[in-house]
Amino acid sequence: MIDHDKERRINLAIAAIRSVPPLSVRKAGRIYGIPRSTLALRMAGRQPQSETTLRVRRFSVIEEDIIVQYVLDLDSRGFPPSLSTVEDMANHLVALKGERHVGKHWVERFLNRRTELKTRFNRVYDYKRALNEDPALISKWFELFKSTKDEYGILDDDVWNFDETGFMMGMIHPHMVVTKAERVGRAKSIQPGNRDWATAIVAISAGGEVIPPYLLVKGVIAYTLWVTTTGWPISWPIKPTENGWTNDETGLDWIQHFDKHTAGLVKGIWRLLVLDGHSSHMTVAFHEYCTEHKIKVLCLPPHSSHLTQPADVGLFQPLKRAYGLQIDELMKASQTHIAKEDFLAAFRRAFAEAITEKNSKAGFRAAGLVPFDPQEVISKLDIRLRTPSPSTPSSSPPWTSQTPQDPKGTLAQTDLIRKRINRHQSSSPSPLFRAALALAKGAERMANEVALLEADNHRLRRVNQELSKRRRAPRIEIARNTAITTEEAEAFLAERELNAQNTQNRVATDGDGPSQSHCSLCHNAGHNKRTCPNRLIDPALDSCT
């Protein structure tokens, strides 16, 4: 890129040197802000670097513009070219001129100087989804949504969406990691061996309400420790199924669960439930129940949930990411197998972190439903390059002299010392600067190491405490192939404990039940020969006093 302002100042400086009376090269350079060496070389006939660079490039500006336009055209139609495709474009142009192919680093240099282009990881679209990303089809969906709301007088707060999302219990969600610079290839994270499947059914409203999730896990038997050792909320059902997936029976169970938790939240008369076209939502029993309880059901366009489903747009990615980080924490604590109770504890924390009022409203907004804005979705059907807005630096109060408690404070304290030393004019402050800088480096390093160790120890203690609690809990069967809640499990355990206490009282009163063991020395109950309190200290005497 030619710096026209600099070229103008160089030309003025050269004209001043050649004028009458002439200026010296040094003085002209000082006046026009040009280094003396640059002026001397230009006076000797050297051409500007921008012009020599253009001559050594393989393509003229016009030819490069053609490549840029071709890339942008492919990108706008949903086919962003790879780096090798851009290189093929360039090789095609040079072949027309009878020249050899471009160099190995040409594409990289080309992208560096063409600021209108940038590289990024692509996201693959399913072909069926692409077929349904038709503005006309999506517009019909929004028309149906609005007309249904108007016809039944449904308020925004009574608009709900529910969807299922699956979890592989030991799967860590991919996320960016930091490795040493010498690593070749992608970084790999060790994952636990458990591949059991679980499904979470989540429902949210446009007003930000979230009802308890309905969880399906692979299995037959439900155990009490699933809810008693994981901090599982009372109103969250867990249902074991053959494969951890939803089915027609579960669909009916869920709509009853939905009605139970939303009937008291209705602001108008009808509730509007937006859902996808899964077969479990299409049964006669499902729709009859909805009609009887004033729940109007709308089905999303096929293969469009990634754009039109609020839960899919705003919730599930944060939920999967939060769950993956929970499992990653267990792996860092050297836990190599994820049991169902470990999954449930991790899911509970991830759900609380990701499924929030803010994210729920954001999902409906991004899906263009509430507030009603079809362009929010239709505008996404054409792929566009977007540049994130620069972040605004945060302001903080000035640092006052004090003992730093963290790495940031250590640097601030050192900076304050340097400024105070700089005001001391009686001697050179350089040695003091070096000493203060060395102190800052050492203190910052130690503070960072301590902070990392403390965080690591805290994580290990928390994980180990939870694991210990769950491992000590007995595995008591409570149900088979039916959903359970924490409230039901606690009631079951309370009744079980009461029955055990009654049995113990009856044994103590009636003398029924198995007899207690007796000491072989004194014949009293409650201890044995080895722990007999009447046994003599001399082990050679095997009798009681």
pLDDT band of residue 366 (cuts 50, 70, 90) is: very high
CA nearest to 344, candidates 205, 253, 239, 243: 239
What's the pTM value of the predicted model, to 2 decimals? 0.52
What distance in Å separates the CA atoms of residue 286 and residue 145, rounded to the nearest whole number? Answer: 20
What distance in Å separates the CA atoms of residue 64 and residue 58, rounded to the nearest whole number? Answer: 9
Please report the pLDDT score of residue 262 as a whole number.
96
Beta bridge partners of 396: none
Cβ within 8 Å of residue 537, ≥6 positions away? none
CA 335 to chain centre: 22
Please report the pLDDT score of residue 512 as a whole number.
55
pLDDT band of residue 176 (cuts 50, 70, 90) is: very low
pLDDT tens figures, 312-355:
998 999 999 898 888 877 876 767 678 888 889 999 999 999 99
Q: Are 167 and 198 in contact (CB under 8 A)?
A: yes
Cβ within 8 Å of residue 376, ≥6 positions away? 365, 366, 367, 368
Please report the pLDDT score of residue 406 as a whole number.
63
Listed in sequence order, the DSSP H helices in 154-283 are 225-228, 248-262
Q: Coil, strand or helix: which one is 475?
A: coil
What token pair was written down for 336? Answer: 């190599």
More confident residue, 491 or 336: 491
- Domain 134-174+192-381 CATH assignment equals 3.20.20.140: no
What distance in Å separates the CA atoms of residue 251 and residue 257, rounded to the nearest whole number? Answer: 10
Task: State the average pLDDT over residues 200-227.
Answer: 92
Of the listed ranges 33-47, 161-175, 268-282, the one predicted with least confidence: 161-175
Q: Coil, strand or helix: which one is 45?
A: coil
The answer to whether residue 195 scores a pLDDT higher than 70 is no
More confident residue, 401 or 144: 144
Instruction: Please state the domain extents for the chain.
Output: 4-54, 57-113, 134-174+192-381, 407-470
